[in-house]
Structure 1
Amino acid sequence: MADLAVVFRRPFRQQVAAFRLRLRHLVPTSRWDDLRKQQHDRAFVVAGATKADLLADLAASVDKAISEGTSLEEFRRDFRATVERHGWHGWTGEGRAAGEAWRTRVIYRTNMRTSYMAGRFAQLTEGNFRFWIYFHGGSAEPRILHLSWHGIALPPDHPFWRAHFPPNEWGCSCYVSGARTEAGVRRLGGDPAKPLPADWQALDPRTGEPQGVGKGWGYAPGASVVQELLEIVRGKVEKLPPEIARAFVDDLAERFQGSELGRMLRAIAAGLG
């Protein structure tokens, strides 16, 4: 298996684009969960960073890490320089080497993985795959429920993906791959016959999320971008004459031909008569 730490540092177009959507909204917050789920697709936050110039410099350091594939240690150097330049005090982990190591690791890995998986969501949506396959990331101390989902292959529109598309918790390194046939699922190490656990939709009363999914993590990073595009298209065609609306949607669908997004656009076109 490839070293996932290295894989997450290989930037690709969709990952960089997904992260840079957040840079349009730098949001001062006290806590990470001041924003809810899909709101993180559209905003950059660092809990406790409340000054605009500080947040902008932290965002630039994360953007550098994602777009250039720089290491955690280089990000830590950039983080220290930013903290010193702005005189930022009171942040969680300040004053202890172990605390700084933990905080920088959380900022770095969380942004790396959520942007990576948002980019993967875009790739998978564009890829015309019949199956999406859930894979456990191979961590030394696996979460039992995440491990139980390993190898499960489901259609892209299955409701499982709405809340279980990884990452599903802080530090989660699970990922998703696509396949066009059952044989392709097996070649990748998945099992097309493996069923979901009977209680996969059961909610944890402590978090309000499905069991095995951490508080605030019950969403698919990047999925809101696809839905937002579809809403824009629907809003636009409502204002156009039917023939022009149909031609507009057909043209868009042609650009995404063979993908899940293309099929969604075709469905909109079909509804136009």
Structure 2
Amino acid sequence: MTATIQAIKPEDAIKALKARGQTLAPSFSWQDVYAEEHARQFTVAKSAGFDILTDLFDGVQTVLDEGIAVEKAIRTITPILQAKGWWGVQQVTDPLTGKTGPAQLGSPRRLQLIFDANLRVSYAAGHWAAFERNKARRPWLRYVCVLDGRTRPEHRKRHNLCLPVDHPYWDTWAPPCGWNCRCTLQSLSDRDVDRMRGQLTFTPPDDDLVTFTNKRTGEVRMIPRGIDPGWDHNPGNAGYRAFDAAEKLIDAPPILAAQVNKDPDWLVKPLGDDFARWFDAAMAGGRVDRSIVVVGALSEEVLAALARTGIAPGSGAITLTQQTALHMLRDSKASAGRGVDAAVLRQLPANLSRPRAVLRDRRDGALLYVFDSGHDPRLAKIVVKVDFETKARPPGGKPQSIKTNSIRTAGLVDAVTLADPSAYEVLSGKI
């Protein structure tokens, strides 16, 4: 019997699930998609060869979006899966070995486990997003167990363990720590910690490491006793990582990408923090782990304004390459006060999410994001080319051709110049 998950509508959990839903990964075994990969993808073991992942994902999303009970969602999806043949014990072929044997496909118990695991990972990612946003005010995390007869002894040992949000211990021991794990993390302020100091502990118990060999890949991992194989990572942080989630906006429908502008906090933290670190590394001139990053998205208002002129961008993401960032910085230094200051560029996600105005250049169709430049009375303009084709190098991968809304230049300009209706069309805001 699994622990009941309360049917609520947490916005961060919904966003985390939708980010995972951008990649539906059929698999034969849970070991095929392991640990952090599982947190960034929506996958179900023994789903390869069956057209069922979308149905299962939609069922989990309905629980979050509409707040219905898991049991009701399972009753709704069961006849759909049965009609597609994904039900009961059947003979299936392992694509890795070519061997055929009996395997459990759909069942009420298995669906409960699938919903439970995917909802808990989505909740964990949503919680972690909140932890990151609020860590300046609530810098501590407390490990909390359900203290009953079903609690794992190793989890019970960690009840009331309190460590900073950024402590590396949470890279491994962050709930859920296994199948049906009901543990959670609670964020605390300094005042909370002072008030609860008598019941909190600040030194983690020693780990008893157990060797686990992934029979599908041959990978050997040392996993602390009490954590189930496949859960020896931080599912919340893995599902939350800003750049990983933001990259999915490139291929997402533009209207879905536009949803990020409804959450300016996410564009400041965590995406803004991730971008600031990337920007600092890029400006140092070394090789960064990604040659292109997502720094924002076209808003619904801008998309609607473009549609009225017959323009439908293929992507809603706004991107920046390391090469362009370096050019903008060099232009700023060489232009004797006509370039955008590096401190302003370093805050691009925040500035692009809250522009004073977005204009369309009538001459070449480029978008101009306009915002205050700091101490200079002139305005900063970021020029974005719609549907710009470029090559991007994902982490550890080869360059790929993509089409995005690419930042090309930046500069300072007088408001009077931008107010010329023969040159610029206002899509949103005002000069």
- Measured in 1, the distance between the counterparts of 2:228 and 2:15 equals 26
Partner of 2:75: 77
Q: How many residues align?
A: 245
Aligned pair in 2 of structure 1 residues 252, 231: CA closer, same or farther (>3 Å)? closer
Aligned pair in 2 of structure 1 residues 17, 52: CA closer, same or farther (>3 Å)? farther
Deviation at 1:212, TM superposition (A): 1.6
Partner of 1:263: none
TM-score, normalised by the number of residues in structure 1: 0.78
Deviation at 1:67, TM superposition (A): 1.9
TM-score, normalised by the number of residues in structure 2: 0.51
- State which of 157, 160, 171 in structure 1 corresponds to 2:166: 157
Aligned pair in 2 of structure 1 residues 109, 125: CA closer, same or farther (>3 Å)? same
Q: Conserved in 2, the CA contact under 8 Å of 1:75 and 1:108?
A: no
Q: Conserved in 2, the CA contact under 8 Å of 1:114 and 1:167?
A: yes
Deviation at 1:139, TM superposition (A): 4.6
- State which of 108, 128, 140 in structure 1 corresponds to 2:149: 140
Moved more, 143-152 or 80-89: 80-89
Q: Conserved in 2, the CA contact under 8 Å of 1:93 and 1:102?
A: no
Would you say 1:216 and 2:230 are equivalent positions?
yes
Letter of the 1:250 counterpart: Q
Would you say 1:176 and 2:175 are equivalent positions?
no
Q: Conserved in 2, the CA contact under 8 Å of 1:152 and 1:190?
A: no
- Measured in 1, the distance between the counterparts of 2:27 and 2:231 equals 18
- State which of 82, 103, 107 in structure 1 corresponds to 2:110: 103
Partner of 1:5: 4
Deviation at 1:59, TM superposition (A): 1.2
Aligned pair in 2 of structure 1 residues 178, 88: CA closer, same or farther (>3 Å)? same
Q: Deviations over 1:52-89 (max 9, x none)?
A: 63211111111112222222321221231221221224
Would you say 1:88 and 2:86 are equivalent positions?
yes
Aligned pair in 2 of structure 1 residues 231, 120: CA closer, same or farther (>3 Å)? closer
Partner of 1:46: 44
- Measured in 2, the distance between the counterparts of 1:191 and 1:153 equals 10
- State which of 11, 15, 22 in structure 2 corresponds to 1:17: 15
Letter of the 1:108 counterpart: F
- State which of 193, 203, 209 in structure 2 corresponds to 1:195: 203
Aligned pair in 2 of structure 1 residues 65, 160: CA closer, same or farther (>3 Å)? same
Q: Conserved in 1, the CA contact under 8 Å of 2:275 and 2:346?
A: no
Query: Which has the higher Rg, Structure 1 or Structure 2?
Result: 2
Deviation at 1:227, TM superposition (A): 5.6
Partner of 1:124: 131
Bigger relative contact order (CA 8 A; separation at least 6): 1
Aligned pair in 2 of structure 1 residues 18, 238: CA closer, same or farther (>3 Å)? same
Q: Conserved in 1, the CA contact under 8 Å of 2:162 and 2:202?
A: yes
Aligned pair in 2 of structure 1 residues 17, 188: CA closer, same or farther (>3 Å)? farther
Aligned pair in 2 of structure 1 residues 190, 216: CA closer, same or farther (>3 Å)? farther
Q: Conserved in 1, the CA contact under 8 Å of 2:172 and 2:232?
A: yes
Letter of the 1:184 counterpart: D
Partner of 2:345: 248
Report the 3-state secondary structure (helix = DSSP H, G, I; strand = E; otherwise coil) of the residue aligned with 1:138: coil
Partner of 2:266: none
- Greater share of helix: 1
Moved more, 73-82 or 184-193: 184-193
| Runs (5+) with no aligned partner, structure 2 | 91-102, 213-220, 244-270, 279-289, 291-319, 330-339, 353-431
- Measured in 1, the distance between the counterparts of 2:166 and 2:146 equals 23
Deviation at 1:222, TM superposition (A): 3.4
- Measured in 1, the distance between the counterparts of 2:197 and 2:155 equals 16
Q: Conserved in 1, the CA contact under 8 Å of 2:59 and 2:74?
A: no
- Measured in 1, the distance between the counterparts of 2:19 and 2:198 equals 32
Deviation at 1:194, TM superposition (A): 4.0
